[in-house]
Amino acid sequence: MDALPDLTAYDAVLFDLDGVLTPTAEVHMHAWQTMFEELFATWDISPPYTERDYFDHLDGKKRYDGVASLLRSRDVEVPWGDPSDPPSADTVCGIGNRKNVVFERVLRAEGIAAYPGSLRLLDVLAAAGTPVAVVSSSKNAEEVLAAAGIRDRFVVVMDGVIAERDHLASKPAPDVFVEAARMLGVDPTRSAAVEDAISGVRSAAAGEFALVVGVDRGVGEQHLVDAGAHVVVKDLEEFVQ
């Protein structure tokens, strides 16, 4: 196999969060389960929530679309509502917002550990003085970074909260990666981006990053290459061996 590029040779390295720095999917799965088990019990909905529901209705979908899809599978209709609905509202948006509250609860209760290989790479980049940023679609990025104890490693954290505030188009559009590079004061064409999702790899490739690293946590190497990844690894540990 060809040697992997030296990431310290780039002006900066921009990292996706969920699935790249932290195994956040497990926390999301647990939060959905907790939230729907409570809801199903309260509303006497059957059949009960199972892990299968996560993959059939929630995984990879926007939060509200996932809620609507799962409720429809139980023949339950509630009004869509509005994203500003409180978590107590019995609307699709309210229930979606409730999941967010439960997510924060689960995160606080169980914590989250960064992938050891990602931590080691961050150590190497810090030692070399290479600036690093987080580019996440998540609105929980700050909480996840704090829970993992790595928030202070990043000068710039571009997340779903900032993207919404600044009207930046979400991945796969290049906007969030390009804006994070601007905030860091670096040129994307001299920087590297690291992603585990097809939409994220597309975003970084469209932003013309000099190096787009795909981390294959299950999406599949060829799919990441087809989306624009220049190199694909199973874990960021491979960059520090």
Catalytic residue among 6, 16, 90, 196: 16
Which of residues 14, 16, 31, 145 is near Mg ion by CB under 5 A?
16
Could you tell me which stretch among 15-23, 38-46, 109-117, 228-236 binds Mg ion (CB under 5 A)? 15-23
Q: Does 35 bind Mg ion (CB under 5 A)?
A: no
Catalytic residue among 2, 6, 11, 18: 18
Task: Compute CA 196 distance to the chain's CA centroid, rounded to the nearest angstrom.
Answer: 9
| Residue found by looking up tokens 């796969």 in the block | 172
Could you tell me which stretch among 116-124, 157-165, 196-204, 224-232 binds Mg ion (CB under 5 A)? 196-204
Residue 159 vs 196, nearer CB to Mg ion = 196
Q: Is 16 in the active site?
A: yes
Q: Is 18 in the active site?
A: yes
Which of residues 7, 10, 18, 174 is near Mg ion by CB under 5 A?
18
Q: Using CB under 5 A, count the residues that bind Mg ion.
A: 5
Q: Mark residue 89 as left, alpha or beta (left: phi above 0; alpha: psi -120 to 50; beta: remaining).
A: beta
Q: What's the CA gap between 44 and 5, in Å, rounded?
A: 55
Residue 49 vs 54, nearer CB to Mg ion = 54
Q: Does 19 bind Mg ion (CB under 5 A)?
A: yes
Could you tell me which stretch among 19-27, 89-97, 209-217, 231-239 binds Mg ion (CB under 5 A)? 19-27
Number of alpha carbons in the 13 Å side-chain half-sphere of residue 109: 10
Rounded least distance, CB 194 to Mg ion, Å: 10
Q: Does 196 bind Mg ion (CB under 5 A)?
A: yes
Q: Does 159 bind Mg ion (CB under 5 A)?
A: no
| Residue found by looking up tokens 């509200």 in the block | 64
Rounded least distance, CB 136 to Mg ion, Å: 7
Which of residues 71, 148, 181, 197 is near Mg ion by CB under 5 A?
197
Residue 39 vs 204, nearer CB to Mg ion = 204
Residue 89 vs 148, nearer CB to Mg ion = 148
Rounded least distance, CB 195 to Mg ion, Å: 6
Q: What's the CA gap between 165 and 175, in Å, rounded?
A: 13
Q: Which residues bind Mg ion (CB under 5 A)?
A: 16, 18-19, 196-197
List, by residue number, the catalytic residues.
Answer: 16, 18
